Each structure stands twice: as C-alpha cells, then as structure tokens.
Structure 1
Amino acid sequence: MDALEIVKVNALEVAVRIWHPEAPRTVIAWHGLARHGGDFADFARELGPQWRVLAPDTPGRGLSSWSATPSCHYVYAHYMTLAAAVMDHFGLARVPWVGTSMGGLLGMLLAAEPASAARIERLVLNDVGPELAPEGLAELARYFGVPHRFAHFSELEAELRRHYAGFGIAGDDAWRRLALGSARRLPDGSWTYHFDPRIVEQFVHDTPRDTWADWAAIRCPLMVVRGRHSPLLKAESVTRMAEAQPGLVSHEVPGCGHAPMLDGRDQVAPIAAFLADSPSDEAADLPWWQRLVGRLGR
C-alpha cells in the first residue's frame, strides 16, 4: 500500500489501506469475512494509477480494532455505519464499490437502503449475491469460528494454500505474501491468523433480511464476478440475479472457487471496463460541512 489512514468510529479504529492516494478517481474495495484490505494490492496495481483504491480492514481483522462486544460490532448494520464513516472521512458523496464476499454483501445493502443508496455509484460483487448456498455458508462458519494455532509459520502457510485454493492464487511469491499478511504471532511463539475468531458471531447475531428484495431495490449499475467452481454462489443464482436486474454485467473466472483474488489482468480488466463510466468528482455534491470534515480528517 502507499498510505494508511485510521478512521475512528466511536471506540473502534478502522484502518484504511490506500493505493495511489493522489489519483483523480476513487473506488472502495471491501474484503471478505476473514480477510483484510491488503488483499487488494494486486487489484490496485492492475486497475492503474488513475484510481485511488481505499481498502478498509473491517474491525476484527487486519490492523483494525477488535471488539469487546461482537454482538454489536460484528454485524452488517454496524458495518454499514463504518462504511458511511469511511466515505465521510474521505469526503465521498458517491463512489464505486467493489466487494468480495462479505464486502460485496455490505455494498449490496448500502445500495439497497434508501438512506445510503445514492452513495454507491456502481457496484461490483465478487462471488456473492442475494442467494448463497447454505452448505457453503455453514463451512465458512465452521472453519473460521474456531481458533487456529500453528507451531511453525510454514504450517500456517501450508494451511492457507489448502483452504484458499479456490482463490486461484498462482506462484510461491503470491502465497508467501498472503501468508505474511495473514499471520499473527501468539505469546507462546506459535502462530495463528490475523483475525478475531469471534467475527463469525455475525452468523448468530445478524438480523435476517429479504436479500432478494434488497437486490431488486438497487438502482445503480451492477456487476457480478463468479468463480466457476464457487461453492457459495451458484450459476443458477447468477441467472436469477440477471432476471431481477436485467442490466447486470457478469463475468465468470475459470479455475477459481470462492473467491477470485482479483489479482490478475484477466480478472481486473472486465471490472476496469465496468468502472470506466464512474464520475471523476465523487465529492462534488456533498454538503459543504461533509467535504470540510473529509479534508480535515486526511
């Protein structure tokens, strides 16, 4: 990353990783359940220097605060509050949103909710949608809901290679970078993942929604990227998504499950083309006081 900013939201700090901080156009890229904003480093490089990429670490992950009250903070309603705070901090009235898995669902809810819909200029969902395979969700909850401990760093890297095989990551260097950004040392010298194991409590505490109604309510341009072998987003679901939103742009990534890493030209180029029509001045129609807060917070 080229810069890092911390956004305070009540008692929590949200770390926002930034690439190309002086670029004329901005996109928010939000990660999946147990990942962090660092995953978008290659995405930012491929997207190019004309785009400032803002990639927050959701609380409980990466460099952001862990919560003492997961039932309040590790839920989508609070993530929506965090997203609004990030946009306000950077003075963004409207902004394109690229979201992987959980980050895509967050973008979808923001685009569907009347209070925030106008702030999402266009939306890219990476291997996620209003209908997800229950068995895939159950596997996520089982895997990430328990602490993982590794005696050696090499064991953590080997487990990452196994569990994230569906990301389509190629090359030892890429796997090593993923491991370096995913590891946290414990007091006894062993290793674990960077995230708070309690993040999966969102599966327990989150309020159920009619996500198909949310999907139908969205009025901004939409794109979905699907890993061809995804266990979470089925091809039939994408078909149904297009029926509800006829303007949907879809792109399927061969050789990937859940979720494409968005780290190569073949994955990023279709997204770049979709984003090409985004307006260049996201802050122009913000109230003056929100623009001022955004400038002072930088």
Structure 2
Amino acid sequence: MDRLELVKVRALQIAVRIWNPEAPRTLVAWHGLARHGGDFAALARELGPEWRILAPDTPGRGLSSWSLHPAHDYLYAHYLEVAVALLDHFELERVPWVGTSMGGLLGLLLAAEPTTASRIERLVLNDVGPELDPDGLASLASYFSSMHRFVNFGDLEAELRNHYTGFGIDSDDAWRQLALDSARRLPDGSWTYHYDPRIAEQFIHDTPRDTWADWRAIQCPLMVIRGASSPLLAQESIERMRQEQPNLVSLEVPGCGHAPMLDRPSQVTPLADFLNHTDTAADTPARPWWQRGYDWLRKVAGH
C-alpha cells in the first residue's frame, strides 16, 4: 500500500488502501465478506504502475469503522451508498471494477441499477455470480457469525491455512503475511480476526432480490473468474451466465476454491487483457430495442 485515505461516509470512516496513487488509470478493487482491501496488494504489483488501485475496507472490516447499528449498516443497500460516496469522493464518473465474492456482487448491483450503471466501465466478478450454492453460503454465514479466539498467533495462522485453503496460496511467506493482515489482539492478550463478527448478520437482515434480473440488465463488458473447486460458484452457473450475457469472458483457475487471490501472472494476465481491451463496440452500452429498430428502418429506407 502506497497511501491510505480515510473517507467519512455519514457516521462511519471508510479506509481506502491505494497503490500507485499517481497512475494514469484507476481500478476499484473490492474484497470479500470477511476480508479487506489489503488482499489486493499482489494484484496491484502484477498490474503494474499504470494502474491506480483503490481498495476500500468495507464497514466492519480492516481499518474501517465498525457499525453501532449492524442491522442497518451491514447490508448491500448501505454498501451501495458507501461505494457511490467513494466514487464521488475520488471523482470517478466511470471506472472498471474488480470484486471478489461480496465485492463482486456489490459491483454487479452497481452495474445493474439504472442510477449507477454508468459508473461501472467494465466488471470482473471473482468467484461470484447471480446464483450461489446455498450450502456454501450457509457455511460462510455460520463460520463468520461466531467469534474466533486464539491463544497464540500461530494458532490463528494455522486456522487461516485451514479455512482459506481455497485461496490457492502456495508459500509460507504468503500465509504468514495473510495472518499478519488478518489478526487483531484482544485485551486479554489472545488473538482474533480483524472484522466485526456481526458482519454476518447481513445474511439475516438483507433483502433478497432477483440477481438474475440484475445480471440481465448489465450492459458493460463482463468477466467472471472461478476457482476450479469453488463451493459457491458452479460451472453450470457460468454457463447460464453466458447464455444471458453472450459476450461474457471467463477464466477458470486450477488449484483454487473460493476464491482466487489474483496474485500471480496466470490469473492477472487474462484479467489485464480484459481491462485493456479496446473494442469500442463491446464497450458501448446496447441501444434500446426500439432505437435499434428505428435505425434499421432508416437504413432500409435509404436514409
């Protein structure tokens, strides 16, 4: 991280981790349910100095404020407000978005909502989509809703290695760094994770919505990355996603579950190719059917 910016959104302070702050291009990278923006350090390194990476910590995670009103603030509706406030703060009218898990769903909603769709230039979903395995979701909700306490820092690291095996991390140094970035010391000297355990209450309080309708509404270019052994995003869901959005770009990452860390060339190079794609026809939002029909009639009539 090259810079940390603290942005006040109503009563909460939102920490935004920034890499390459003077770079000419900007990418918003949003983390998963119980993670934080620090997870994108390797992505920033792999993308290189051309990209300014803005990676917020969602309320209740990392360096951002914990909410005194979880039933109100730990919801997608509130995360949407936070996201728009950050886009406004950084004066980003239109920006590419990479989202892991929860961060991907947040980007999906922004790209689908008529009032915010124009803000998302292109969208990358990392191991998430409009349909997720209910058993996998239930497992996430159960794990993250309880307080995890460890007598020693080494116990916390061992648990991280066990629980986050789907990240595909393959070096001791990377596991140690993940533990350092994930730990919070308690007053009695024991250790726990960095996040507010009440973040999982969004599974109780959030309002269900038709995310397939949201998916169909998106008009910006789309990419989905799936861990080959993901417990949340099935290959069949990818196929249906492509049926609804035929231009969908997809990447399956071997040796990963939920979710790839986007930390190595084999994952980042295809992502960078997608971000750098300059097919203006694909980047232009589709015109409404009635306008396309009118254009066709004018062409037939010779005008």
Q: Above 0.5 in TM-score?
A: yes
Number of the residue aligned with 2:30: 30
1:41 is paired with a residue whose SS is: helix
The aligned runs of 1:251-262 (5 Å cut-off) are: 251-262=251-262
1:181 is paired with a residue whose SS is: helix
2:192 is paired with a residue whose SS is: strand
Identity %: 73
Number of the residue aligned with 1:227: 227
Does 1:70 find its partner at 2:70?
A: yes
The aligned runs of 1:208-287 (5 Å cut-off) are: 208-277=208-277
Number of the residue aligned with 1:40: 40
Structure with the larger RCO, 1 or 2 (CA within 8 Å, 6+ apart): 1
Give the aligned residue type for 1:112. Answer: A
Distance 1:60 1:36 in 2: 10
Runs of 5+ in structure 1 lacking a partner?
A: 280-298
Distance 2:35 2:173 in 1: 18
Distance 1:39 1:86 in 2: 19
Whether the aligned pair in 2 keeps the contact of 1:96 and 1:278 (CA below 8 Å) is: no
Q: 1:77 deviation in Å?
A: 0.5
Number of the residue aligned with 2:126: 126
Whether the aligned pair in 2 keeps the contact of 1:121 and 1:278 (CA below 8 Å) is: no
Distance 2:171 2:126 in 1: 22
2:138 is paired with a residue whose SS is: helix
Distance 1:278 1:7 in 2: 32
Whether the aligned pair in 2 keeps the contact of 1:122 and 1:278 (CA below 8 Å) is: no
Could you list the structure 1 runs, at least 4 aligned residues long, displaced by more than 6 angstroms after superposition.
none
2:60 is paired with a residue whose SS is: coil
Whether the aligned pair in 2 keeps the contact of 1:131 and 1:237 (CA below 8 Å) is: yes
Number of the residue aligned with 2:83: 83
Q: 1:273 deviation in Å?
A: 0.4
Give the aligned residue type for 1:72. Answer: H
Task: Give the structure-1-normalised TM-score.
Answer: 0.93
Deviation readout 1:73-131 (Å, 9 max, x if unpaired): 00000000000011111110000000000000000000000000000000000000000
Higher Cα Rg: structure 1 or 2?
A: 2
1:6 is paired with a residue whose SS is: strand
Distance 1:10 1:144 in 2: 26
The aligned runs of 1:98-177 (5 Å cut-off) are: 98-177=98-177
Q: 1:278 deviation in Å?
A: 6.9
Q: 1:277 deviation in Å?
A: 3.4
Give the aligned residue type for 1:65. Answer: S
1:268 is paired with a residue whose SS is: helix
Distance 1:159 1:211 in 2: 33
Residues 189 and 278 (structure 1 numbering): CA distance in 2 closer, same or farther, change over 3 Å?
A: farther
Distance 2:94 2:62 in 1: 26
